[in-house]
Every structure is written in C-alpha cells, then in structure tokens.
Structure 1
C-alpha cells in the first residue's frame, strides 16, 4: 500500500542569480537574450515567493500525483498538518483512506476501508483518532508531519527545478521542469520516472497565482514513458487565512493505536 502523499519537508529556495542578472541588465539593456534570462529568473522568483510555506496563514491543499489523490490543511500557528489520501486496490477493488493529523509533537491517524463487500481479512480498526507512538513505526519519517518548510504538493522543489518560466499574464505562468534536478527528482516515484529518459529534463508545467500573489495551482504534464500513459501531477491551494485552525482531537474521539494499525502502517 502506497502511503507517501508527497507532503515533503523541503524548504523553498531563493533563485540566487536574480540580483546579479538584474545588475548586469542595467548595464547591458540592449541585449535581447539577457532580457529573456532576466524575465525568466524574475518569473521564477515570483512563483517561488508565491508557494505557501510554514510561516504564513493557514491554507488547504489538494492534489493527485498520478497514482494517489491527497488533500489536507496546514496551520502554521498551531504547528499543525492534516493530510488524507485514498488508494484503490487494483486487484480487489476496495479503497483504503488514511488520514494523519499532526499538532505539535503529537500524531494521530484514522484508517478506513470502503467497497469491501464480499471481502474478508481486512483489519477491523476503531472509528476514532488513533494516537501513534512513532517508535513503533518501521519508518517514522513516512508519516506526514508539520515541519519548518512544510510544502504540501512539492510546488517549491518543482518550481526551483524549472529551466524556463514565462509569465503569460493575468497570474498565469508556464514553463518546463527538470525532474532529474535536486529535490524535484524525489517528487515522482521510480516507476513513474522509469523510461522518461531525456524527456524528464523538459517536463511542461503551468501555474496560477491569485491577486494576492499566492499560488493557487500547479500542473505538471508528465509525458508517456514506455507502456505508461501520460498523466498530470496536480496540486492546488485555497482558503488562505480562512482555513479552520487545527487542534488535537477531543479526548472522547481518541484512543491509542492498536497493534493492527501499526501492522498496516508498517506493511
């Protein structure tokens, strides 16, 4: 079962050449190619600045990485993150929904199954928030949690790896991303990257920024590779400032996670 919802802990990086290129452009304003470079870097920096992070207001996010849909919210004030993902079993047809909530040092999960008619052998888990002891997890880092630089959807690494960015007007941007570069190389899994070859270095993307200069969507158009069909990696952000704050679930809604939950998360 794939549990990685790609809520990466990568911080946003500044586009370092901005100041240098702008300074040169003042002296060589007649150079058309240099103007294009400056425009690209400026557009890229605008997008990087638009990516939500853990220092601003709360927001919601949602997306699809080509295999798994995910959604949730970030509350910097509470140092909180909630994320859910739903995975359909291709063989048996049932869907597993996993929700994680992290506030401060505490992490809870809810795990449920739908479409299980006629199936046996699935664990019966309480319909409550299950408090996790991360020492019982084989890979504690696989559990999404709030950290400085929390970047749901990996918009920051993708924009940072952009090799070209054009501002198309009215808050829309387009360009190409090198999926083999830096942290962007971790956004797709090995199976999705396999067979892309040189095409992985020039993957088209589009992005939209609202009137407040906040990113609202980013779409990566991943081409076909081998027998795999083309797909879109999509992430969206909304409800900046109006997203409800995150808090620990009420005591009546919580119990310690049973062993079956750990067995499932460790599988």
Structure 2
C-alpha cells in the first residue's frame, strides 16, 4: 500500500493481548457468540463500532499503534513506515474538531521548503481548511485500521479452526478504508483481491482481537501479512493535547499532503 495512505488510515498508544482466551475488558457486557462462523465474525466488530478501544498494527513495511475514545470525542495514532529508500514517522491527535499532526519524512524533508523545521512540531490543522481530508477524521464510522465491519461483508470459505479462531478468505475491495486496500495494490491484484486469505481471533465475549490479512504479491508490491490487534474494549483513554510549546499552525504543504 502507499506510505501516505497507510499513515492516514491508521489510528497512538496501545498494548494488545490478542489471545482468543482474553477476559472481558472493563465496561463490556456479556454477548453470546453466534455459532455460524460468518455470523460470529460479523458480530465481532460491534465492539469497534462503540468507539472505545486500542489497537496495534504490524507488517513488513509499517508498524503503529493507536486508540479511539468516543466518550471524549478523541483519538490518536502513531506510525512508522518505509524501506531502504524511504522512511516516515507520523503522529495524529484528534480532540473534537481539533487535529494535530507530526510528520517526519526523513531526508525527503530537505527538498520541501519550510518543512525541515516542522518535523519536531505538532501542526494544528484548521478544520475548515482540512474539510476535504476525510482520512484525518479518526472518529468517523468505520475508522478501525482494517475497516473490519466492511471487510467482513465479503467473507468466503470461513471455518472455525479452534475455540475463538477462524480462517477463510475476504474481499478486501469491500473495505475502502482498510490498510490492506491500497488503490494501486487492488488494481494490481485484480480478481485476487476478492479472495484474500485471513485468520482471526475473538475473545470470550466474541469481540475481534486479531485479524491477519495475507496480501499476495501484486505488481511491484511484495506479498506481506498485515496484522491488526485490538484490545481495551471499553477502557481506552482520552487523547491529550500536545504541549503548547510544540505546536505550530499547519503549513500549506501539510494541507496539500492530506488532500
């Protein structure tokens, strides 16, 4: 997937225990897990819709962590990504209508006027100016990094492989906001994108705790596994504003980057 797209789609601070035997988190209520494997996976995303959880994401080319806390209308994420030719560190904090981003493009900053001095600063974005940047809104519906609720509408060959563990294939074209659904990769995959192998784990409450998507090689992109883990259902913490002395107003280049 494209590096910028990865950063924009993924909400940072989390430590996840993704074993299928997880005990219920604070604020959870007992839910009966459907016996049908497809129905169980579809139902497993209801906890994400509540908007109070943390997550981590890992792949060969990017890693990150984050959290969504709708009780305070706040969210945050941190990402590191790149390869031998490109690196990027990205942080985002959203509280109500205020958004701050910190971006470090490594050596690429040297070629962008005014950006070198920004890499250690949180840039505050004006909501009116950034109105078209839907990907910066982490509180919108379907925000989780895998966009699991949408993705699980395209399940096939699903089977329960053990207590709380599942495998099958998924149509990643159904999840436009997923970290696995980069536009260029989808185009290169063609029909393969409609049947991508996955494994999943649910906790004892039937909530999704781990999703591993095995994206095949396509075009110039190598095959890779993308692992998203979810935890702290009902017990995430509110995001905090960055220190005032580390905040500047976003540059024109930053607004352009997130269009």
What interval of TM-score do these two structures reach, taking the shorter chain for normalisation?
0.7 to 0.9
- Tell me the CA shift for residue 61 of structure 1: 1.2
In structure 2, how many angstroms separate the alpha carbons of the residues matched to 1:127 and 1:198?
Answer: 43
Q: Is 1:55 aligned with 2:55?
A: no
Which residue number corresponds to residue 75 of structure 1? 69
Cα distance, 1:208–1:132 mapped onto 2, change above 3 Å: same
- Tell me the CA shift for residue 263 of structure 1: 5.0
Q: Is 1:240 aligned with 2:233?
A: yes
Secondary structure of 2:200's partner? Answer: strand
Aligned residues: 231
In structure 1, how many angstroms separate the alpha carbons of the residues matched to 2:184 and 2:61?
Answer: 11
- Tell me the CA shift for residue 66 of structure 1: 6.3
Which residue number corresponds to residue 147 of structure 1? 140
Please show how residues 189-200 of structure 1 align to structure 2 within 5 Å: 189-200=182-193
User: Which string of whole-angstrom CA distances, capped at 9 and with x for unpartnered residues, describes residues 182-221 of structure 1?
Assistant: 3369751232123434433322110011123221110111
- Tell me the CA shift for residue 161 of structure 1: 1.0
Cα distance, 1:88–1:129 mapped onto 2, change above 3 Å: same
2:217 to 224, 232, 241: 224
In structure 2, how many angstroms separate the alpha carbons of the residues matched to 1:221 and 1:77?
Answer: 34
Cα distance, 1:133–1:229 mapped onto 2, change above 3 Å: same
Which residue number corresponds to residue 161 of structure 1? 154
Which residue number corresponds to residue 121 of structure 1? 111
Which residue number corresponds to residue 35 of structure 1? none
Q: Is 1:84 aligned with 2:78?
A: yes
2:97–2:127 CA contact under 8 A, matched in 1: no
Cα distance, 1:66–1:198 mapped onto 2, change above 3 Å: farther
- Tell me the CA shift for residue 229 of structure 1: 3.1
Cα distance, 1:157–1:64 mapped onto 2, change above 3 Å: farther
In structure 2, how many angstroms separate the alpha carbons of the residues matched to 1:46 and 1:135?
Answer: 40
In structure 2, how many angstroms separate the alpha carbons of the residues matched to 1:61 and 1:256?
Answer: 29
Cα distance, 1:223–1:120 mapped onto 2, change above 3 Å: closer
Secondary structure of 2:48's partner? Answer: coil
- Tell me the CA shift for residue 227 of structure 1: 5.6
- Tell me the CA shift for residue 265 of structure 1: 4.2
Cα distance, 1:178–1:260 mapped onto 2, change above 3 Å: closer
Which residue number corresponds to residue 9 of structure 2? 7
Which residue number corresponds to residue 30 of structure 1? none
In structure 2, how many angstroms separate the alpha carbons of the residues matched to 1:148 and 1:230?
Answer: 29
Q: Extract unaligned runs of 5+ from structure 2.
A: 12-33
Structure 1 stretch displaced more, 133-142 or 209-218? 133-142
Structure 1 stretch displaced more, 122-131 or 72-81? 122-131
Q: RMSD over aligned Cα, in angstroms?
A: 3.4
Which residue number corresponds to residue 129 of structure 2? 136
1:261 to 246, 254, 259: 254
1:83–1:144 CA contact under 8 A, matched in 2: no
TM-score when normalising by structure 2: 0.73
Secondary structure of 1:248's partner? Answer: coil
- Tell me the CA shift for residue 242 of structure 1: 3.9
Cα distance, 1:261–1:155 mapped onto 2, change above 3 Å: same
2:5–2:182 CA contact under 8 A, matched in 1: no
Is the radius of gyration larger for structure 1 or structure 2? 1
Which residue number corresponds to residue 177 of structure 1? 170
